[in-house]
């Protein structure tokens, strides 16, 4: 792919770069985005009807089982070339912040260091009542496992529709967007707030905004550069075009 020389120049000189990723960044690892239809057992449900406090209150076991199924899917996948290209980029840029809406932990697995997981991490579990974190829980075939401390129900440590984002992470993400000279929006449909507002915050402060997505999004008209295709292909090519093959 040919990248505009302006973009190459901006990136070569950039001291501060911030990146926002969404479910599309994990698509090539084999994880479904929310916009793909669900498969098998879960085809009859919309994610919006499972990933909410109301859904958990109504039928905790159904929600627990959906997350258990997604957790299993994640255990079998690996980061893709796009995740690794972002690690390469972090190695080149003095101040680099990666903000993700993904809960799959693949950026950390790939080696990204300055990472803000805005929507939590599906591999962690906490008590819905007292908030205590746990890494182990009992048998969940019959019912949702309970907190050892207060007997509250355990739930995934993710942000559900209608819940607030973790304040410290959100604040850091907004600051990183405002300070960025180049801001990337990658594999996110740009409709989930407030993460989608980050690109606008960056743009308002004068950042060059770059989108990489399988298809145009509501953000596309507001970007300086938009590349439509797979992030696992475009990102490694871009990193190679800017910094060469293996110069660290
Ligand atoms: P989304 O499902 O709304 O949008 C995904 C976007 O990725 C779409 O715009 C699509 O065009 C694009 N895309 C698909 N494949 C791509 C590829 N190979 N390369 C580049 N782009 C690609 O997801 P979202 O914007 O992240 O927001 C929805 C919510 O979904 C978030 O809250 C997130 O937490 C949650 N979610 C997370 C995961 C995960 O952790 N892997 C998976 C599904 C949903
Ligand atoms: Zn508890």
Q: Do strands 154-158 and 133-134 pair parallel, antiparallel, or not at all (unpaired)? A: unpaired
pLDDT grade, residue 246 (50/70/90)? low
pTM of the model: 0.93
Residues of 213-239 as b/e, b for ≥16 C-beta within 10 angstroms?
beeebebeeebbbbbeebbbbbbbbbb
Which tens digit of pLDDT belongs to each residue from 87-107? 999 999 999 999 999 999 999
Residue 117 CA, ligand 1 centroid: distance in Å? 14
Cα→Cα distances 185→51, 100, 156, 188, 199, Å: 23, 10, 26, 7, 7
Q: Into which CATH architecture does domain 5-30+79-119+165-243 fall?
A: 3-Layer(aba) Sandwich (3.40)
Instruction: Judge if the beta carbon of residue 154 lies within 6 A of ligand 1.
Output: no
The pLDDT of 197-215, averaged and rounded, is 97
Query: Which stretch of 20-24, 73-77, 83-87, 113-117 has the lowest confidence by average pLDDT?
Result: 73-77
Per residue in 24-62, pLDDT tens?
999 999 988 877 767 766 788 888 889 999 999 999 999
Map tokens 């957790």 to a residue.
71
pLDDT at residue 220 above 50? yes
Domain boundaries, the chain: 5-30+79-119+165-243, 35-76+128-158
Q: Is 109 in the pocket of ligand 1 (CB under 6 A)?
A: no
Which ligand has the shortest distance to the CA of 134? 2
Whether 247 has a pLDDT exceeding 60, the answer reads no
- pLDDT attached to residue 248: 45
Q: Is 83 a catalytic residue?
A: no
**Does pLDDT of 200 surpass 60?**
yes
> What span, in angstroms and rounded, lies between the C-alpha atoms of 50 and 99?
24
- Per mean pLDDT, which range of 113-122, 125-134, 136-145, 188-197 is the poorest? 188-197
Scanning the structure block, which residue is given the tokens 């669900």?
Answer: 38
User: Considering the chain, what is the average pLDDT of its residues?
Assistant: 93
CA distance 187 to 230: 8
pLDDT for 192 equals 76
Closest C-alpha among 108, 75, 221, 101 to residue 158: 101
Catalytic residue among 83, 107, 119, 200: 119
Provide Rg for the chain, Cα atoms.
Answer: 19
Distance CA 173, CA 171 (A): 5
The DSSP symbol for 89 reads H
Distance CA 184, CA 150 (A): 43
Q: Which ligand has the shortest distance to the CA of 81?
A: 1
Tell the CATH topology of 35-76+128-158.
Answer: SIR2/SIRT2 'Small Domain' (3.30.1600)
Given a cut of 70, is residue 198 above it in pLDDT? yes
The closest alpha carbon to 198, from 171, 160, 224, 159, belongs to 171
As a dihedral over the C-alpha atoms of residue 8, residue 81, residue 219, residue 97, rounded to 10 degrees, the angle is -70
Phi-psi region of 3 (alpha: psi -120 to 50; beta: other; left: phi over 0): beta
Would you say the CB of residue 215 lies under 6 angstroms from ligand 1? yes
**CB-based contact 182:17 (threshold 8 Å):** yes
Q: Kindly tell me if the per-residue pLDDT of 80 is higher than 80.
A: yes
User: What pLDDT, on the 0 to 100 scale, is given for residue 232?
Assistant: 98
């Amino acid at each position: 792919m040919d990248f505009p020389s302006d973009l190459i120049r901006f990136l070569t000189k950039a001291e501060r770069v911030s990146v926002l990723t969404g479910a599309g960044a994990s698509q090539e690892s084999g994880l479904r985005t929310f916009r793909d239809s669900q498969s098998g057992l879960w085809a009859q449900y919309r994610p919006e009807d499972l990933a909410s406090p109301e859904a958990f209150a109504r039928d905790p076991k159904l929600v627990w089982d959906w997350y258990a199924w997604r957790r299993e899917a994640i255990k079998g996948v690996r980061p893709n070339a796009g995740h690794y290209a972002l690690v390469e980029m972090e190695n080149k840029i003095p101040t680099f912040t990666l903000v993700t809406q993904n809960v799959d932990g693949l950026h950390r697995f790939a080696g990204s260091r300055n990472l803000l997981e805005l929507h939590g991490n599906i591999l962690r579990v906490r008590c819905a009542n007292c908030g205590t974190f746990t890494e182990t829980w009992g048998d969940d075939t019959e019912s949702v496992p309970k907190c050892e401390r207060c007997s509250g129900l355990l739930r995934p440590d993710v942000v559900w529709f209608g819940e607030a984002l973790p304040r410290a992470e959100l604040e850091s993400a907004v600051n990183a967007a405002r300070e960025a000279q180049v801001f990337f929006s990658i594999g996110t449909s740009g409709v989930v707030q407030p993460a989608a507002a980050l690109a606008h915050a960056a743009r308002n402060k004068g950042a060059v905004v770059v989108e990489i997505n399988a298809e145009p999004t509501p953000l596309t008209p507001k970007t300086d550069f938009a590349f439509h295709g797979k992030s696992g292909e475009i990102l490694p090519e871009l990193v190679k075009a800017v910094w060469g093959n293996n110069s660290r």
